Amino acid sequence: MPSTSKVLKVTSTKFSTAPTSKRMWDRVHCCLYCEKVVPKIARHLQTHHAGEALVVKALLLPKKSSARNAVFEDIRKKGDYAYNSKVIKEGMGELLVYKRPKVGTMGPADYLPCPHCHGYFVKTALWRHESNCTAKKTSESPKLSNCQMAGGALLPTKEPCSSKLQTILASMRSDGIVLTIRGMSGFASMESTM
């Protein structure tokens, strides 16, 4: 389970302390509807939220079909994105990322949400995911897009700010300084001085 320590961290892959050092299968996801962190999100959605529109859509599809899995994955990514937004706004907790790193290799500043599916990916590999993202609309032009800038625009701020200020923050280099600015209270009032 993600801890509620006073620092912003990334959930990492854990290994047992036994001599074999086998991987521990302890991944969790956040429910989009009740905001609980659960280890088996599809089972949780079927038992507790069977009346929700997206869950009904998934349950009507045949079991183990790729379409059903895609709907559950979409719900899972939206729930994780909502959880991660809350964690970033509060400035404490652990991010739920798409691929967990080994312990201590990545920090929260190294991750950005995909502008299409909202899954959190390592920012240096976001372009690779975006080229294969299933949530990406096929009608979009095949031109080279700046997915890091678009992902940076999706990062939450402590206070609501205008789209102009959000664009400026997204165009800045995504590092610890930008995360600090986003976490500051009162920075949205700086817009009037620009």
- Gyration radius of the chain's alpha carbons: 18
H/E run at residue 95? strand 93-95
- Spatial separation of the C-alpha atoms in residues 183 and 158, rounded to whole Å: 5
**Contact at 8 Å (CB) between 95 and 10?**
yes
Query: What pTM does this model have?
Result: 0.76
pLDDT value for 185: 59
Three-state SS at 120: strand
- Spatial separation of the C-alpha atoms in residues 93 and 131, rounded to whole Å: 30
Strands 29-30 and 37-38: antiparallel
The closest of 145, 169, 137 to 156, measured between CA atoms, is 169
In tens digits, the chain (194 residues) has pLDDT values of: 444 444 567 776 666 666 677 777 788 999 999 999 999 999 999 999 999 999 999 999 999 999 999 999 999 999 999 999 998 888 888 889 988 887 777 888 888 899 999 999 998 889 899 888 888 876 555 455 678 778 877 877 766 666 677 677 666 666 666 666 666 656 556 555 55
